[in-house]
A and B are shown apart, each in its own frame.
Chain A
Amino acid sequence: MQIKFLVVGLKMYKNLFQETFTLENSTAYETYYKLGDIFNFLTDDLIVDVENSKSASYFDAFNKPFLENLKHLRNTGLPHKYQEQFNHANLAKLYGLDILSRKDRELSFDKFDYLAVKNNTLVLCDGEILVSNNLGTRKPFNIQILDKIHTNKSRQLEYVKYIKHTNNFSNLTYALSPFLNIVVFPAGSKDRFYKNPITAEYRNVGDEPFLSCNTTIFDVQHNTKVCLKEDVKTLSGQMNNNIYILRENSELVLERKSNDYGGWNIFDSTFICHPKSKLIIDTKNTGSIYTQENFYIDSTYHTNVKIKGRNKIFKGNNFHQYVYQKSNDVDNYSRIDIKNIGNEYADTSFIGRYDVGPFSVNFDGSMNNNNLMLSKNTKMHTRPILDIKTKEIQCQHGCTVSNINAEQLYYLQSRGVDNAKDVLVESFLC
């Protein structure tokens, strides 16, 4: 089977290298591919094409890291089910999902016209970044959007180095969305974007299971305090690879809400925490046909990280979360508190790892994951891992999987509460 680049990332790819590749249109309107098929194309045909392409020198500098990324991808392969960050049963389901190729590859962003009457809103869709009116203007200390490599080449190249070789899906996401979108919160903005939070909406153009990929860097510069509200709506397949840079003395409050609209979603988030930075994450998920949310936190020293997850996983949905924090130096503080509720036939997993380095004295960490199963058909897994390579630290973990407590249920009912189960669920999530 000859598979060509049948995902939306193609458009950006063509723009990037200013070349037209020979693409075979799908003969049928609906032709489905698996993630493995796309991977094969990227690491086989595309590498050859990129290597042989006679790109304008304008792009040479960028061509190289992109090619390296593809080669790395080829060497590592797709993430394997026995890798630490995946519950072993997860990936088979993901790799079995159908991804629809599309006959008409023209993108239409008309449905995002509402941005014209909105403030402080970004839409990340199919590798593009669209902004509301007030963000698009050049005002002092307004956020900067670096979204076109040909217009921001030097700045883009500053940031390309943050695309690291990993063993998760982020390299694949980057390969499918070669435009690196960058949002910079300039140092002079102080707490402007904390008082007036920015909303980032992750959307798909169509309702059908086309694949949409975004690679985005959020740069919170020195002495800046930012509140970012992320709203992830996956109507179809979506892969996001976000890198958040928290410069010295900065603070990022990230509120992420991810709702099920019938699609699937892989969201890799990497946080680079510079000294004295503060990171607060608050996530809410409903799961989906397949949701994988990964947090990779790289802490230098004197950093403060708080992660709170409250996930109410709907009936039959999948939700898998991996939290990895690497503490490199002294006096880092971390609190991870994830609570999941699994409805009937829901399948969830939490895997958390503290990687405390030999110089990370006075690390203070607490990792908690509590799971509440609402049905005997629910599957919930939890796995805390503490890898400590130094002394004089304070670290604890607590993970539970439980059912609804019959005594609590009866207690509520004896006071006339007819929706006692719902009340217990809400109480659990508090």
Chain B
Amino acid sequence: MLKLIDFEIKNVLENINLTFEEGKTYVIMGSNGVGKSTLLHGIMGRPDLEIGGSIEYNGSEINDLTTDERAKLGIFVGFQSPTSIPGLSNFQFIKQSKKLKAVDIKSSLDKFKELSVSLGLPTDWDKRNLNTDASGGEKKKNELIQMLMLNTKFAMLDEPDSGLDVDGIKSLITQLNNWKNNNNTLVVVTHYEKLIQGLNPDSVVLLKKDNVTVGDKSLADKIFSSGFEDV
């Protein structure tokens, strides 16, 4: 589904070759500051990153596409610290993103409310300003709602567990497992053992500055027991 060929981000990562296949789940691990989040935003097309190499999505190079064009292809990144936008409500944001027509608004709103209630968010969540006056956990849940509401095919989540309580983690695992199918791909940056167990990833990727190590779930176990340096 998505292939990184000799991919590099100036001053952060280099010589990264990775393939994310359709219908699979990946967990990315790596020491602090190695560039895990930057990798996700590099794929998403953050304008201030200088990218080298090639990003192929469904067989086509997307290096020249803007961020919103990549998003429209179904690429999604869940932020580690989502920014707040006062004046724009959570549901208005979805409306703007999906460019909803009048006839579709009600059904989308119903789905939005259903999701937010299932994640334990307040009943007026749709009317609240985007990530404004929200706790860290609520922001993360909001990222998940956006991912599920939008036409996401390739989801990259950056530490989705941070800030979530015990029930929140359970809901997160349930929602992500329900979302997974043979036509989409899930990439999660996390170091949380229970989340990795819950998601049961097909591959674990250990990211270093100039190379990657790909293994199965046992690679994660090895990292947890020995640390990054010994792997």
Q: Measuring CB to CB, which residues of chain A are less than 8 angstroms from any residue of chain B?
A: 405-408, 410-420, 423-424, 426-430
Contact = CB atoms under 8 A, between A and B. Distances in A.
Interface in B40-85: 44, 46-48, 66-68, 71-72, 76-77, 79, 82-83, 85
Contact of A415 (B46, B47, B48, B93): B93
Given A408-B83, A423-B88, A427-B88, A413 B66 contact: yes
B25 interface: no
A123 B125 CA distance: 45
Contacts, number: 62
Given A416-B72, A417-B68, A417-B97, A410 B46 contact: yes
A406 B96 contact: no
Contacts of B93: 412, 415
A269 to B, nearest CB: 27
Contacts of A406: 47-48
12 contacts: A406-B48, A410-B46, A413-B67, A413-B68, A414-B46, A414-B68, A415-B71, A416-B71, A416-B150, A417-B68, A429-B87, A430-B87
A27 B107 CA distance: 70
B157 to A, nearest CB: 13
A416 B85 contact: no
Chain A binding site: helix, strand, loop or mixed by DSSP?
helix
**10 nearest A-B pairs in the assembled complex, by CB-CB distance:** A430-B87, A427-B87, A416-B71, A413-B67, A427-B88, A415-B97, A413-B68, A418-B68, A407-B83, A411-B83
B116 interface: no
B86 interface: yes
Chain B interface size, as a band, is 20 to 34
B88 A414 contact: no
B146 A415 contact: yes
A38 to B, nearest CB: 43
Contacts of A418: 68
B71 A424 contact: no
A413 B82 contact: no
B160 to A, nearest CB: 15
> Which of A406, A417, A426 has the most chain B CB atoms closer than 10 A to its own CB?
A417
Nearest to A428: B87
B85 A411 contact: yes
Contacts of B68: 413-414, 416-418, 420
B153 to A, nearest CB: 12
A427 B97 contact: no
A428 B86 CA distance: 7
B96 A417 contact: yes
Contacts of A417: 68, 96-97
B18 to A, nearest CB: 20
A423 B86 CA distance: 11
A415 B150 contact: yes
A412 B47 CA distance: 13
A426 B97 CA distance: 15
B130 to A, nearest CB: 8
Given A415-B71, A416-B71, A416-B150, A424 B46 contact: no
Contacts of A420: 68
B42 to A, nearest CB: 12
A420 B96 CA distance: 9
> Which of B47, B66, B67, B83 has the most chain A CB atoms closer than 10 A to its own CB?
B67
B77 A414 contact: yes
A105 to B, nearest CB: 49
A148 B39 CA distance: 75
A414 B44 CA distance: 7
A312 to B, nearest CB: 14
> Which of B47, B97, B98 has the most chain A CB atoms closer than 10 A to its own CB?
B97
Contacts of A424: 85
A423 B85 CA distance: 10
Given A427-B85, A427-B88, A410 B47 contact: yes
> Which of B68, B77, B98, B146 has the most chain A CB atoms closer than 10 A to its own CB?
B68
